Chains A and B, each alone.
Chain A
Amino acid sequence: MRIAGRHKLISSMSAAGVLLVWFLPDGIVAQNSNLTGQNPPATEYVGTDTCKTCHEDLYKKSFENTPHFKTTLRDGHGCESCHGPGSEHVAGGGDVSKIVSFKTLSKQEINTRCMGCHGTDREQRHFSSSVHAGNDVGCLDCHSPHHAKEAQYLLVQKQPDLCYGCHLTEKAAFAMPYHHRVNEGLIQCADCHNVHGTTTVRQVRALPNGDAPCYKCHADKQGPFVYEHVPVKTEGCVSCHSPHGSTNPRMLRVSQVNLLCLQCHSFPAQGPAGPAHNQATKYQACTMCHAAIHGSNASNVFFR
Chain B
Amino acid sequence: MTSNILRLIQLQVMLLTLSAIVHGQSSGNDAGQPPEGWETAGYVIHQSIDIGYRVSEITGSQAMYDTLVDLRTGPRFLDQTLSMQSQNHDGLLFDNLSISSFGWGGDPNNALHVRFDKSKWYEFRSDFRRDQTDFDYNLLANPLNPPTSSPSIPVLSSPHSFYTRRRMSDFDLTILPQSKVDFRFGYSRNNMTGPSYSSVHEGTDALLFQPWNTTLNSYRMGFDFKPVAGTVISYDQFFDYYMGDTTWQLSPFAPALLPGSAGSVELGLPIDTGNKTPCAINPPATSLIDPGGTLTNIACNAYFGYNRYNRIRTWTPTERLSFRTNYFKWLDLNASYAYSDAEMNAAFNEFFNGLVQRSRTRQELVTGPGHATQISNVADFGATFYLPKHLRIVDSFRFWAFRIPETFTSTTTEWDVPGSGSCAPPTCSLLTPISGTTQSAATAFDQTSFNQNWKRNETDLVWDPSKYFGGSIGFRYGNRNFVHVNDFTTGDVDNIVVHEYTPLASLWAKPVTNLRIHFDFEHTNNDNAIVRIGPRKASQYRIRANYTPKPWAVLGGSINLSQASNDDFFTSYNWHNRNYSLTASLMPRPRFSLDLAYNYTSYKQRALICFNDSAASLPVVADAGSCEANGFADSDNPLLTNGYYTSNVNYGTGAVMFKPIARLTTNIGYSITSVGGQTPQFNVLQPFGPLQYNYHQPMGNLAIDLGHNLTAMGAWNYYQYGEKSFVGPTDPRYFHANNETFSLRWAF
Known: A168-B557, A287-B141, A297-B346. A14 touches B228 (CB 8 A): no
B179-228 contacts to A (CB < 8 Å): 188, 190, 192, 198-201, 205, 214, 216, 224-228
Determine the chain A residues whose CB is within 8 A of the CB of B651 once the complex forms.
172, 175-176
Q: How far is the CB of A86 from chain B (nearest CB, A)?
A: 21
A1-30 contacts to B (CB < 8 Å): 3, 6-7, 10-11, 13-14, 17-18, 21-22, 24, 28-29
* In the assembled complex, A266 has its CB within 8 A of some CB on chain B: yes
Residue of A with least CB distance to B612: A278
A219 near B190: Cβ-Cβ < 8 Å: yes
Q: How far is the CB of B713 from chain A (nearest CB, A)?
A: 17
Main secondary structure of the interface of B (DSSP, over half): strand
A210 near B376: Cβ-Cβ < 8 Å: yes
* In the assembled complex, A224 has its CB within 8 A of some CB on chain B: yes
A70 near B120: Cβ-Cβ < 8 Å: yes
* In the assembled complex, B441 has its CB within 8 A of some CB on chain A: no
Contact segment of B253-261, B296-304, B313-321, B354-362: B313-321
Determine the chain B residues whose CB is within 8 A of the CB of A18 once the complex forms.
225, 227, 233
B406 near A227: Cβ-Cβ < 8 Å: yes
- Contact-residue size bin, chain B (C-beta under 8 Å from the other chain): 35 or more
A259 near B680: Cβ-Cβ < 8 Å: yes
Contact with A along B392-405 (1 / 0, CB 8 A): 10111110101010
B141 near A284: Cβ-Cβ < 8 Å: yes
B231 near A21: Cβ-Cβ < 8 Å: yes
Partner of A136, one of B370, B470, B601, B686: B470
A106 near B467: Cβ-Cβ < 8 Å: yes
Known: A136-B464, A168-B599, A303-B200. A10 touches B394 (CB 8 A): no
Determine the chain B residues whose CB is within 8 A of the CB of A33 once the complex forms.
228-229
Determine the chain B residues whose CB is within 8 A of the CB of A168 once the complex forms.
544, 556-558, 581-583, 597, 599
A234 near B404: Cβ-Cβ < 8 Å: no
B642-657 contacts to A (CB < 8 Å): 643, 645, 647, 649, 651, 653
* In the assembled complex, B139 has its CB within 8 A of some CB on chain A: yes
Determine the chain B residues whose CB is within 8 A of the CB of A259 once the complex forms.
609, 643, 645, 679-680, 682
A231-285 contacts to B (CB < 8 Å): 231, 233-235, 239, 247-250, 253-259, 262-264, 266-271, 273-285
A35 near B689: Cβ-Cβ < 8 Å: no
Q: How far is the CB of A70 from chain B (nearest CB, A)?
A: 6
Determine the chain B residues whose CB is within 8 A of the CB of A134 once the complex forms.
394, 460, 462, 472, 506
Interface centre among A209, A258, A281 (most CB of B within 10 A): A209
* In the assembled complex, A193 has its CB within 8 A of some CB on chain B: no
* In the assembled complex, B178 has its CB within 8 A of some CB on chain A: yes
Determine the chain B residues whose CB is within 8 A of the CB of A200 once the complex forms.
398
Contact with A along B64-108 (1 / 0, CB 8 A): 000110000000000000010100010000000010001100001
Determine the chain A residues whose CB is within 8 A of the CB of B724 once the complex forms.
none
Determine the chain A residues whose CB is within 8 A of the CB of B198 once the complex forms.
291
A279 near B508: Cβ-Cβ < 8 Å: no
B238-252 contacts to A (CB < 8 Å): 238, 242, 244, 246, 248
* In the assembled complex, B328 has its CB within 8 A of some CB on chain A: yes
Contact segment of B13-21, B426-434, B530-538: B530-538
Determine the chain A residues whose CB is within 8 A of the CB of B57 once the complex forms.
none
A128 near B139: Cβ-Cβ < 8 Å: no
* In the assembled complex, A69 has its CB within 8 A of some CB on chain B: yes
Determine the chain B residues whose CB is within 8 A of the CB of A32 once the complex forms.
228-229, 327-328
Contact segment of B24-32, B281-289, B444-452: B444-452
* In the assembled complex, B546 has its CB within 8 A of some CB on chain A: yes
Once the chains are docked, how many angstroms separate the CA of A108 from the CA of B200? 59
B120 near A276: Cβ-Cβ < 8 Å: no
Partner of B67, one of A125, A135, A249: A249
Once the chains are docked, how many angstroms separate the CA of A174 from the CA of B566? 28
Once the chains are docked, how many angstroms separate the CA of A57 from the CA of B396? 44
Contact segment of B3-11, B330-338, B700-708, B740-748: B330-338
Once the chains are docked, how many angstroms separate the CA of A1 from the CA of B316? 16
Chain A interface residue count, CB cutoff 8 Å, equals 125
A282 near B275: Cβ-Cβ < 8 Å: yes
Known: A21-B228, A263-B573. A247 touches B675 (CB 8 A): yes
Once the chains are docked, how many angstroms separate the CA of A274 from the CA of B683? 17
Q: How far is the CB of B311 from chain A (nearest CB, A)?
A: 10
* In the assembled complex, A102 has its CB within 8 A of some CB on chain B: no
B410 near A298: Cβ-Cβ < 8 Å: yes
Residue of A with least CB distance to B85: A65
Q: How far is the CB of A13 from chain B (nearest CB, A)?
A: 6
Known: A70-B119, A210-B400, A227-B448. A35 touches B530 (CB 8 A): no
* In the assembled complex, B715 has its CB within 8 A of some CB on chain A: no
B684 near A280: Cβ-Cβ < 8 Å: yes
Q: How far is the CB of B423 from chain A (nearest CB, A)?
A: 20
Partner of B581, one of A125, A172, A257, A283: A172
A181 near B205: Cβ-Cβ < 8 Å: no
Determine the chain A residues whose CB is within 8 A of the CB of B224 once the complex forms.
120, 122
B111 near A289: Cβ-Cβ < 8 Å: no
B605 near A277: Cβ-Cβ < 8 Å: no
* In the assembled complex, A300 has its CB within 8 A of some CB on chain B: yes
B321 near A264: Cβ-Cβ < 8 Å: no
Once the chains are docked, how many angstroms separate the CA of A115 from the CA of B234? 18
Determine the chain A residues whose CB is within 8 A of the CB of B482 once the complex forms.
234
A267 near B610: Cβ-Cβ < 8 Å: yes
A169 near B139: Cβ-Cβ < 8 Å: no
Which of A's residues lie within 8 Å of B, judged by CB?
3, 6-7, 10-11, 13-14, 17-18, 21-22, 24, 28-29, 32-33, 35-37, 65, 69-70, 73-74, 106-108, 115-116, 119-120, 122, 125-126, 128-129, 134-136, 151-152, 165-169, 171-172, 175-178, 181, 184-187, 197, 199-201, 206, 208-211, 216-217, 219-220, 222-228, 230-231, 233-235, 239, 247-250, 253-259, 262-264, 266-271, 273-285, 287-289, 291, 297-298, 300, 303-304
Q: Pick the 7 closest A-B CB pairs, nearest first.
A: A172-B599, A168-B581, A21-B227, A209-B340, A280-B615, A276-B636, A219-B216
Give 29 A-B contacts (CB < 8 Å), ordered by A residue: A32-B229, A36-B229, A74-B178, A119-B230, A129-B332, A129-B394, A166-B546, A168-B597, A169-B558, A177-B721, A181-B109, A186-B129, A224-B372, A228-B406, A239-B534, A249-B67, A249-B140, A249-B689, A255-B647, A276-B612, A276-B636, A280-B613, A280-B621, A285-B140, A288-B143, A297-B344, A298-B346, A300-B446, A304-B248
